[in-house]
């Protein structure tokens, strides 16, 4: 099952907001905050859809991968770029693994469970 238009519209709007804020540069902290906020937004929107949990998690991880691919290079100083290009695939894999685990711990927060 595919995501609905409301989900796509909300995520597209959120990405545009982050892109506008990152136009003059973005720090690692700002990228992490934007990614976590995006994860919470996506999880909240997906939680109401009738689709398997694994598919919902995959959609959230797609968003995390998108943020990493689009904004991570801007966080790295120019002098570190040669090293970054070497370690970037490993860092991306680590970030996605961490995000996968974070989905499970964020779910109660998104659902408002105490």
Tell whether the model's pLDDT for residue 114 goes beyond 70.
no
Number of domains in the chain: 1
> What's the rounded Cα separation, in Å, for the pair 94 and 75?
17
Backbone angles phi, psi at 50, to 5 degrees: -90, 80
Tell whether the model's pLDDT for residue 111 goes beyond 80.
no
Reading the block at residue 9, the tokens are: 């519209």
> What's the rounded Cα separation, in Å, for the pair 94 and 89?
9
Structural domain including 73 reads: 5-111
Query: What proportion of the chain, given as a percentage, has pLDDT over 70?
Result: 93
| pTM for the full predicted model | 0.85
Tens digit of pLDDT for each residue in 50-69? 888 888 899 999 999 999 99
Query: What proportion of the chain, given as a percentage, has pLDDT over 90?
Result: 62
Backbone angles phi, psi at 101, to 5 degrees: -70, -35
pLDDT value of position 113: 56
């Amino acid at each position: 099952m595919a995501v609905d238009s409301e989900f796509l519209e909300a995520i597209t709007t959120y990405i545009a907001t982050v892109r506008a804020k990152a136009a003059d540069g973005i720090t690692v902290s700002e990228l992490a905050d934007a990614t976590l906020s995006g994860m919470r937004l996506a999880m909240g929107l997906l939680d109401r859809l009738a689709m398997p949990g694994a598919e919902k998690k995959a959609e959230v991880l797609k968003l995390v991968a998108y943020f990493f691919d689009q904004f991570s290079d801007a966080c790295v100083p120019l002098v570190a770029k040669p090293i970054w290009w070497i370690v970037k695939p490993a860092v991306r894999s680590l970030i996605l693994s961490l995000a996968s685990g974070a989905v499970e711990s964020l779910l109660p927060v998104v659902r408002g469970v105490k």
